[in-house]
Amino acid sequence: MTYKLILLRHGHSEWNAKNLFTGWVDVDLNDQGREEAARGGELLVENNLLPDVLYTSLLKRAINTANISLDKADRGWIPVKRDWRLNERHYGALQGKDKAQTLAEYGEEQFMEWRRSYDTPPPPLSDDSEFSQAHDPRYADLGDALPRTECLKDVLVRLLPYWESDIKEDLKAGKTVLVTAHGNSLRALVKHLDGISDDAIASLNIPTGIPLVYDLDEDFQPVKPGGTYLDPDAAAEAILAVANQGKK
Ligand code: DG2
């Protein structure tokens, strides 16, 4: 008996298309992203992977990806749990900035440190920035826990308790769980599942809109390390595109 976990990074967003750091800014999917989400749902059906419960972040690019995918799979009716702990990594003062311009301005080393190091957060975002979430009602309950910037380690620290208390419990109950989230919140979860080192996680990238399936054994160890992308060719191409973002 294995537990079935499906991870799905939202489809291409308006800001993925513009090559802007997004983080907690609540941008929607673009047409490409909606198509990816629909294809994601078809892949679930083709592989007979029908989710029993959905987990999403509080951000509409993940919520709408889930809605479109589940509609394709005729599973729009399943219970939904939304939580800020699945949100994208807060990108601090980089939110709203152009990735190519940031790379040109700060150089590749600093750029990659901010994007992919495990424990170096970008500078914090000021509460009076147009890209701040300090006054967003959906985070009113967070109080001092509301991040102004995060590194991947911070994401893992806020995500793991939720994985343990909620997501794992649904898996233990035998449910097929779909998690729709983000490039970095999913990198944090995959780091935990696969036991990837702080250094090695830098080179792991997650493509948009392609379901990644983990069969987990009774100790929640992946039966196949790295899981299985339902469209491996498309995933390989898209992973490269994410890795090269910002570069000419
Ligand atoms: C991207 C990830 O997050 O960017 O916040 O810009 O998955 O919500 O589109 P997502 C962002 P990188 O860390 O890959 O630059």
| 24 occurs within a structural domain | yes
Catalytic residue among 35, 42, 46, 88: 88
- Specify whether the CB–CB gap between 91 and 132 falls below 8 A: no
Is there an atom of ligand 1 within 6 Å of 57 CB? no
What is the bridge-based pairing of β-strands 53-56 and 228-229?
Answer: unpaired
Could you list the residue range(s) of the whole structural domain that residue 167 is in? 3-243
Q: Which residue has the least CA distance to atom 13 on ligand 1?
A: 115
pLDDT in tens, 26-78: 999 999 999 999 999 999 999 999 999 999 999 999 999 999 999 999 999 99
- Kindly report the backbone phi and psi dihedral angles of residue 25, in degrees, each rounded to the nearest multiple of 5, phi listed first: -70, 135
| 150 occurs within a structural domain | yes
CATH number of the domain that residue 46 is part of: 3.40.50.1240
pLDDT at 1: 85
| 146 occurs within a structural domain | yes
| 55 occurs within a structural domain | yes
| 168 occurs within a structural domain | yes
pLDDT in tens, 203-238: 999 999 999 999 999 999 999 999 999 999 999 999
Share of the chain above pLDDT 90, in %: 96
| 110 occurs within a structural domain | yes
- Ligand 1 atom closest to the Cα of residue 23 is 5
Work out how many domains the chain is built from and give that number: 1
- CB within 8 Å of 163: residues ≥ 6 apart: 189, 192
| 229 occurs within a structural domain | yes
| 248 occurs within a structural domain | no
Is there an atom of ligand 1 within 6 Å of 102 CB? no
